[in-house]
A and B are shown apart, each in its own frame.
Chain A
Amino acid sequence: MKHPLFLRLRKRLSVQPDSVITLGDICQVYWDGEREEMVRRIPIHRVDPKDGNLLILDIMQVIAKVRTALPETELEITGAPQIIVEVRRPRREPNRLLVGIVWLILFIGSGLAIMNFHTDVSMPEVHQRIYFLLTGAHEKHPLWLQIPYSIGIGLGMLLFFNHLFKKKLNEEPSPLDVELFLYQQNLDEYYIQHENKENQRIKS
């Protein structure tokens, strides 16, 4: 009976600069239960400074390397056709000053935006009208309505992003988590399209 070598490429790998990526790093490997250790150590790629901080390894490169090492083996390949390798640069702490500036921009900007919105939709007039309809009293500045309203805006935003309760209300991720995930996924797809040299050819 034949024993094909099963390979399943992972999605992402994060490595140190100047390390050697082996087959075991990028693939799940199954053979016949004994010889995997040897196969896992097959070197696939040495990270080079000129690779930048992202490189794509295509399954065809992997097959070529495995074939050179084990010419006789039948390969059975599942999973994604490429893997994204992220070269970890020593990560800088985000600059406190920068965070502060961004914080201020967001604070001032969102405050301005809500005021613009209120003016745009004639919120003061609407508040006066609602106050009149609810209580029967004319009030130029219905603060009894407007102050709770203002607090409510903050509450609503927190509620939407589920940060009101530090402990999660349920297991589901918040929209922000999903959004970050989708953004990362889009970036990954872009890299795969544009960084993988095997995906683009110009025939002259």
Chain B
Amino acid sequence: MRTEFLRPIDGLHLPEEYRALLRPGESAFGLDGTAHRLPRFFFEIRSWEEAREIRLAPHFTLAELMLVDCRETRVLLSQFPHYVPCAILLLARFLEDFRREVDAPVFISANGGYRSPAHQIGGAKSIHAWGTAANIYRVGDTFLSDAKPNEKYRAVAASLSPAVFVRPFGREKGQTSDHLHIDLGYASLTPRECSEAG
């Protein structure tokens, strides 16, 4: 597992341009009205090559969990360094457990891993801004756009930990129809070398 490129940084020390977009440690209200603090500590990623090199778990590279489309703000889309919340490690660990359980490759969709609070989809209201959520659109050769496979893998994911939330399949608000949304809640991770003082 290659993690030597991972450099944790305190988001409060980032240049203003990045702080305005990532809003480290700020309170944000979720869709259900609950308030949570946005992630403060990030890994700094210097290039896509580096993101592809960094293996967070045996079967998951960092690049897979940070792929976004042009709905992400320009600075965070095409300019390096990129910043990804440290809790992405927890997500990768969970996805590895899930992969082992289903015994097949697990594919995360674009915009389906970490999205910044400035991303046009959900923004800071979305749990994806914590780096603790993943949208799985395919398991092995099966696309999760039908109820049956979706429900099957939903049950598998939910069985792995009481900390895991999986959205039900469907066409209503809060449901998903072409992927499996899993998340670990509003978890944050403070690397041991980082201080939360200040």
Please indicate whether A and B come from the same complex rather than being unrelated chains: no
Which of A's residues lie within 8 Å of B, judged by CB?
none
B residues within 8 Å of A by Cβ?
A: none
